């Protein structure tokens, strides 16, 4: 397998703070038969200048603000490699990440190999973000149902067979969507836990909520094209994670009901306990990172509750967008 060419693809937009570090890690990848393809999606900062510093070792393509999905499609079309590896500009890959993945492609039914993205931690927000992903990876068996594009390798022929990445937004949901499309086409996705990239810490509280809101909007669209059974059996979004925003909505409705009857307060208290119990696995992981500081437990629970509210808002916006799209399709077309 080691004689097969792999294109290492990175999409970037205004990534001057991170792209250099990412590329240096990719250049250290120990798989020999590789090329590095960077798609600059119209950066207006110093990103083009930084890319120029690597000009003899990488290929740079120009995107047209089609977002990360469009950039990945462009790179795949341009490259003659048999396999396409994807990561993000704010990630650093282990030198052996391709070597750990490539052996799984001996089975021609394997369309993708996906690994683990480890978030670095500096504060409570980044610790919660890291813990959420660590817990989700525990749900994955070798036969995965979806991919994580910051740490995945695709067989390009399979990627092309399902139409590549769906381009409907600048970022968010594109990796979950292509994973579903590959599975629906009858291909295998393999999870390789020793295939690892490290993601920069997500330290900002505002950015944490914004990204959760954005992801919720995207995932409504992703899941709307799938059966209910598929949606509730995703190995990266287990049922209790998908239900948490709805539990939170019911909790607030019960609080409103307390104005009319005291029984609602008891129900709200019970549901609040249930919601916090669904957070315990993440909180436990945070406490390992934060050395058991009690404030971290309370802060983690509060942050996860706010994340649920952001997800609920995003899901409602996603549903609204979906309904508007369906209404537009049903609207009569004028002949004039």
* Residue 233: inside a domain: no
Residue whose tokens read 């937009």: 13
Q: pTM surpassing 0.85?
A: yes
Please, which pLDDT band fits residue 335 given cuts at 50, 70 and 90?
very low
Is pLDDT of 235 > 80?
A: no
Residue 19, CB half-sphere, CA atoms under 13 Å: how many?
A: 27
170 belongs to a structural domain: yes
The string of pLDDT tens digits covering residues 46-65 is 999 999 999 899 999 999 88
Task: Answer yes or no: is 282 within a domain.
Answer: yes
Q: Indicate whether 336 pLDDT > 50.
A: no
Total domain count for the chain? 2
Higher pLDDT, 32 or 324: 32
Q: pLDDT tens digits for 153-167?
A: 999 999 999 999 988
Whether 190 and 283 map to the same domain: the answer is no
Q: What is the CATH number of the domain that holds 192?
A: 3.90.550.10
pLDDT tens digit string along 239-289? 777 788 888 888 888 989 988 888 889 998 998 898 888 888 888 889 887
In a domain, 230, yes or no: no
| Enclosing domain of residue 34 | 6-201
Choose one of 153, 171, 201: the last residue of a domain: 201
- 221 within domain boundaries: no
Residue 176 lies in a domain: yes
Q: Which of 142, 172, 201 is the last residue of a domain?
A: 201
Q: Which of 201, 226, 260 is the last residue in one of the domains?
A: 201
140 shares its domain with 33: yes
> Residue 206 falls within a domain, yes or no?
no
Mean pLDDT of the chain: 88
């Amino acid at each position: 397998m080691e004689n097969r060419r792999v294109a290492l693809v990175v999409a970037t937009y205004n990534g001057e703070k991170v792209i250099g570090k990412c590329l240096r890690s990719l250049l250290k990848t120990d798989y020999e038969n590789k090329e590095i393809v960077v798609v600059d999606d119209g950066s207006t900062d110093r990103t083009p200048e930084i890319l120029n510093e690597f000009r003899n070792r990488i290929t740079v393509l120009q995107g047209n603000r089609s977002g990360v999905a469009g950039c990945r499609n462009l790179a795949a079309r341009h490259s003659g490699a048999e396999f396409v590896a994807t990561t993000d500009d704010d990630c650093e890959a282990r030198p052996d990440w391709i070597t750990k993945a490539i052996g799984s492609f001996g089975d021609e039914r394997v369309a993708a190999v996906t690994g683990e993205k480890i978030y670095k931690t500096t504060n409570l927000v980044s610790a919660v973000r890291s813990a959420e992903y660590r817990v989700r990876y525990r749900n994955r068996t070798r036969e995965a149902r979806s991919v994580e594009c910051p740490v995945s390798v695709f067989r390009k022929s399979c990627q092309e067979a399902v139409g590549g990445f769906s381009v409907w937004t600048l970022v968010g949901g594109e990796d979950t969507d292509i994973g579903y499309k590959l599975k629906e086409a009858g291909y295998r996705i393999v999870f390789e836990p020793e295939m690892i990239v490290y993601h920069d810490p997500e330290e900002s509280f505002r950015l944490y909520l914004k990204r959760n809101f954005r992801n919720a909007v995207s995932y409504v669209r992703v899941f709307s094209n799938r059966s209910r059974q598929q949606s509730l059996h995703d190995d990266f979004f287990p049922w209790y994670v998908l239900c948490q925003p709805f539990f939170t909505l019911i909790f607030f409705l019960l609080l409103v009901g307390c104005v009319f009857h005291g029984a609602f307060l008891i129900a709200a208290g019970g549901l609040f306990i249930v919601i916090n119990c669904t957070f315990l696995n993440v909180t436990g992981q945070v406490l390992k990172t934060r050395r058991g500081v009690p404030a971290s437990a309370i802060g983690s629970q509060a942050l996860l509750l706010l994340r649920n509210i952001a997800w609920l808002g995003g899901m409602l916006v996603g549903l609204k967008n979906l309904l508007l799209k369906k209404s537009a399709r049903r609207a009569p077309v004028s002949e004039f």
